[in-house]
A = this chain, B = another copy of it.
Amino acid sequence: MRTASLFSEMLQTITERGRRFLSFGAREDALDPMSVIAERCETLLSSRGEASGMALAKDILDRWRTFDIKSQQVFMRMLLARFGPKVERLETAIDAYRADQSPKALLELHVAAEPRRQELIRRLNLAPNGIATLVAMREALLRLKAKDPDLEAVDADFAHLFGSWFNRGFLVLRPINWSTPADILEKIIQYEAVHHIGGWDELRRRLAPEDRRCFAFFHPQLPDEPLIFVEVALTREMPARIDDLLREDREPVPANEATTAVFYSISNCQEGLRGISFGNFLIKQVVEDLRRDLSRLDIFVTLSPVPGFADWLSRERRSEVSDVLSATDRTRLALLDEPDWADRPESLAEIQPAMTSAAAWYFLRARDAKGRIIDPVARFHLGNGARLERLDFLADRSPRAMRQAHGLMVNYLYKLDDIETNHEAFAGRNEVVTTPAIRRLVPAERGGRNLVPLAGGNPDEQGRQGKENRELSA
């Protein structure tokens, strides 16, 4: 504690001192703030930046933090316009490369094509706590980019550097439990994106019992900020309903009697790191970690939402011709329109077979315009090498789950020895690995629309999409 605060105080001193050299007096203050900050960025990139980089970087980030959204956009467009590659040098490099495709010419071309923004961002990282502000800066940038697509080029520079900085090799896996510092736990409450945590008592129920585990990735320079975390329940069998895991009055399973580890929630924490992938490493490392501690564990499985199901089903029901739904199915599924269907046993008996059959199709046959499996959570887990293991009817009665998936959840199974093969099948051949039972649920084909293309979609595309999901899973 104290050490940390001394240290940050010391950094403060260094940067304060450096700052004095940066004040150009009243004249500058007369300038508009954007000219000033642009000038500072130029200075930071100059040789002078080497001598007082920390102070300059801090000054720039401090100014940024005072910007409203309008100024943020002006700043980002300034980065776009002013800190791209040096055009002249780039033109010369292209000419040289076209004249002689030597390694040297290629290298120069690569160097010349690098936007000056990249070195600028690297130097901004010199400021005390620079990385935290840079992540926040990109969060703002992502919002701006949604309306101003030109900023894609600026975002690409942030993403490029974050890809290096948050490389899995630099991340640290740490358990999150009831003896974790409160400021980190507070963030777990805030970032949980799958099954809402209502407060500290509920958090305690997710962390403290002996049949609960939680793990997060951290970056050494952001020791109080989880990047992504997964919540795990230890059980005696693969669960079919989220309530079995989360209800208040359940009896904890003695940890050494558990055979099954259930990943029931995975949440990304940093919007500013969107697209920087570490989720797949997380699950695998946690599996190994758990196996080590608890040798009786041998089933590793998720209990996951199906966020795209209700929309898709609704489209199918509205569609006049559907390969998916028979007339009977349509009749049965019409019962879903009654608001209290989930509480009527007689409706459930009708709905269940129709819905699970449709769900099997949703996973095994239905594809989006890019030829990809529709469900983003499915893309994540299947892309990681998991197997679609079971469809769980009416497994989550929370309003969100009812709205997104009529309460449907599924289990994905992580079997370490099969992960590689499963991944190959999915990434390489666009095949969904599943069980015979689920396969049998797929209705016999009624036509040719929307079948799984043999050649598969573009798996690269899939990977990218998967990464961009804030609520990854489970």
By a beta-carbon cutoff of 8 Å, the part of chain A in contact with chain B is: 1-3, 5-6, 10, 13-14, 17-18, 20-21, 47-48, 50-54, 80, 84-85, 87, 90, 94, 97-98, 101, 103-104, 106-107, 109-111, 113-115, 122, 125-127, 130-131, 150, 152-153, 156, 161, 163-165, 167-170, 175, 177-186, 199-200, 204, 208, 220-221, 224, 277, 280-281, 284-285, 288-289, 292-293, 383-385, 416-417, 419-421, 423-424, 427-428, 459-460, 463
Contacts of A280 in B (CB 8 A): 50-51
Q: Can you pick out 23 interface pairs between chain A and chain B where the beta carbons lie within 8 Å of each other?
A: A2-B3, A14-B284, A17-B288, A17-B417, A18-B420, A47-B460, A50-B463, A51-B420, A52-B423, A54-B281, A87-B101, A94-B94, A103-B153, A106-B115, A111-B156, A122-B164, A122-B167, A126-B167, A126-B168, A127-B169, A130-B169, A164-B165, A179-B182
Main secondary structure on chain A at its contact with chain B? helix
Nearest Cβ on chain B to A468's Cβ, whole angstroms? 15
B51-A419 in contact (CB<8A):
yes
Contacts of A184 in B (CB 8 A): 179
Nearest Cβ on chain B to A371's Cβ, whole angstroms? 15
Instruction: Give the distance in Å from the alpha carbon of A399 to the alpha carbon of B427 in the complex.
Output: 65
Contacts of A181 in B (CB 8 A): 178-182
B125-A114 in contact (CB<8A):
no
Most B C-beta atoms less than 10 A away, residue of A54, A110, A419, A459: A110
Q: A1-B177, A164-B122, A169-B126 are in contact. Are A152 and B220 (CB under 8 A)?
A: no
Other A-B pairs beyond A109-B113, A179-B182, 6, CB < 8 Å: A2-B293, A50-B427, A51-B385, A94-B98, A103-B150, A165-B167
Q: A2-B6, A17-B416, A384-B51 are in contact. Are A110 and B126 (CB under 8 A)?
A: no
B48-A428 in contact (CB<8A):
yes
Instruction: Give the distance in Å from the alpha carbon of A113 to the alpha carbon of B16 in the complex.
Output: 40
Instruction: Give the distance in Å from the alpha carbon of A1 to the alpha carbon of B173 in the complex.
Output: 12
> CB within 8 A of A47: which of B13, B200, B281, B463?
B463
Nearest Cβ on chain B to A91's Cβ, whole angstroms? 9
Contacts of A54 in B (CB 8 A): 281
B1-A179 in contact (CB<8A):
yes
B183-A179 in contact (CB<8A):
yes
Most B C-beta atoms less than 10 A away, residue of A111, A164, A208: A164
With CB as the reference atom, state the residue of chain B lying closest to A12: B288
> CB within 8 A of A153: which of B51, B106, B285, B289?
B106
> CB within 8 A of A156: which of B107, B156, B423, B459?
B107
Instruction: Give the distance in Å from the alpha carbon of A394 to the alpha carbon of B164 in the complex.
Output: 49
Contacts of A285 in B (CB 8 A): 10, 14
Instruction: Give the distance in Å from the alpha carbon of A169 to the alpha carbon of B134 in the complex.
Output: 12
A48-B423 in contact (CB<8A):
yes
Instruction: Give the distance in Å from the alpha carbon of A235 to the alpha carbon of B278 in the complex.
Output: 42
B420-A10 in contact (CB<8A):
no
Instruction: Give the distance in Å from the alpha carbon of A385 to the alpha carbon of B127 in the complex.
Output: 20
Q: A1-B177, A416-B17 are in contact. Are A427 and B185 (CB under 8 A)?
A: no
Interface pairs A-B: 7 shortest CB-CB: A220-B220, A125-B169, A51-B423, A21-B420, A200-B200, A179-B181, A103-B153
Q: A179-B1, A419-B51 are in contact. Are A6 and B292 (CB under 8 A)?
A: yes
Contacts of A80 in B (CB 8 A): 103
With CB as the reference atom, state the residue of chain B lying closest to A289: B10
Contacts of A163 in B (CB 8 A): 122
Contacts of A47 in B (CB 8 A): 427-428, 459-460, 463
Instruction: Give the distance in Å from the alpha carbon of A234 to the alpha carbon of B200 in the complex.
Output: 27
With CB as the reference atom, state the residue of chain B lying closest to A165: B164
Contacts of A175 in B (CB 8 A): 1-2
Contacts of A200 in B (CB 8 A): 182, 199-200
Contacts of A101 in B (CB 8 A): 87
A152-B420 in contact (CB<8A):
no
Contacts of A90 in B (CB 8 A): 109
A10-B51 in contact (CB<8A):
no
Contacts of A428 in B (CB 8 A): 47-48
Nearest Cβ on chain B to A228's Cβ, whole angstroms? 15
Nearest Cβ on chain B to A217's Cβ, whole angstroms? 13
Instruction: Give the distance in Å from the alpha carbon of A287 to the alpha carbon of B70 in the complex.
Output: 41
With CB as the reference atom, state the residue of chain B lying closest to A97: B94
